Structure 1
Amino acid sequence: VYFVLGSPTSLIDLQRINFGGAAAIFITHCGAGRGEYSALEDWTVDYEVVCCTRLVESQLPKSSTTIVITDIVNDSNHPYLPLPGSTGFSKAELMTIPQKTDLLEGFKAALKNPRGAIKMGGNAEGGSSDKSVQGEYFVQPRFAAGRLFAGSATFTSLAANTFYNPSLIDLVGAMIATQIIMIHLPHSWEGKTYFELFDHLLWNESLLAIGIYRHADMKLAGDVGDTGAGGRKSKVSSQSSGSGKKSKATKRLGFVYTAPPGKETVLVPEDQIICFQARQDL
């Protein structure tokens, strides 16, 4: 482990450590909630983390494979951390991103049609309950891709629930100690339901399927001419046929589909199944 004296919000210091050559970059605010930071407003606690994340991602080339993972203290600050390429908002629009994005519907479409595109921008429509869900950090593409953590929400909720359900501690401990494997979907299972594969893995392979690792094309903000699901499908097909303009409007995104509805979820090519492996003594 090497420590370099400098500031993570300084481009010169980032270049000194060759940040562009990293496989992954983890950005966190270790001093949050202590000392001088305890008196700050909630929305200001993560400003250094946000600035550092935006700086690093803006300097990485589009072809870079470096993964930037961000840990924020206040989960309500997630609108300031859209994925790269989805920053085409004015300052006023940025403040209302939770109400202006249709990410929930985008992910629903991606789960049903992973070759479709996830829409990053646009006006949200529907009831007030849908709008409130769309504003939550756990339905954002960055969180689904495993690139965003909100410690104040996840661990606080887990700790509080252990008071009412002490067995959660044993459950988490067992999950940590369990061997986790990922299975590439065999061609013979393409088009079948998740329920059928779950049953096969459990009784024939002694594996407990807990989710699907799936890919979808994410539509970046500023893409005009979107006409719904049909428009998304045509744009993706145009991208695969070699249209340079369309390729700039989408980005390949991997995400975890946890506990999908068994009989409603159809398995597609490129799916990977996340499984817990049973102990040998069972």
Structure 2
Amino acid sequence: MKKTPFLVVKHVCLIFISIIMVFPFLWMVISALKTKDEIWQFPPTLWPEKPMWHHFSEAWAMAPFDQYIFNSVFTASAIVFIQVINSALIAYAFTHLEFKGRNLLFSIILITYMLPTAATYVPSYVILADFHLLDTYSGLILSNAVSVFGIFLFRQAFMQVPRELVEAAKVDGARHWTIIWKIIFPTTKASFITFALISFVQNYNSYLWPTLITTSESKYLITTGLRQFFIQEGAYGIQWPLIMAASAFAVLPLLILFVFVQKWIISGISDQGLKG
């Protein structure tokens, strides 16, 4: 009974924080249903006098948002898959393989993480140009195929796995690949799920680099396509209801992602024990 006031305060705070977090998205959707005058009126109204549901269909018809969303989801998924594989392999080498210069090599990798991202744009652009990978899906994917953060995160997680488990698997004749996915992965699932989600959201929302290396509208990611819509169809902010509707299209795939993977995130975070 003594915990009841604390639980009430805790839930009230969580509800308040949740409302603050979700309010911008709700306001964006509601603004898409308003007229331009209703958006700018003061004091603002929470709900329009007459919802303009046709703004969503108009915005969808004005630009190939289906292509933009496909490009973002496809490239982000491919990047996440490659990053998870190579980050796990590299982290395994740093934690369960013995070779000269291991700590030095890991230090060099961490140093590269300290470089400003913009400082790598020019050399990366030149490399892609030399390999004729500009304005291609391959260029978008391969230029983001390695994540230093993923290597660091997996290394720290793999270090928590008892070496006795790994050594026992080696004695039984297990290969390195089997050890990673049968021994290490089940015990560090939370790190895999967390990194995959963070990486997907980051690459889905990526804007500057994809804008630099893509020129064809058919290759635009949703971020670049949304900017083009703002400039052309949105007339630099004049058509705010349509811009808000287009912004809702951009956010929708991420919301769907969270709805479907939330149980895996919770189970992955709570699954910290070692499985026999």
Task: Give the TM-score category using the shorter length.
Answer: under 0.3
Query: Could you state the TM-score of these two structures normalised by the residue count of structure 2?
Result: 0.25
Structure number with the higher strand fraction is: 1
Structure number with the higher helix fraction is: 2
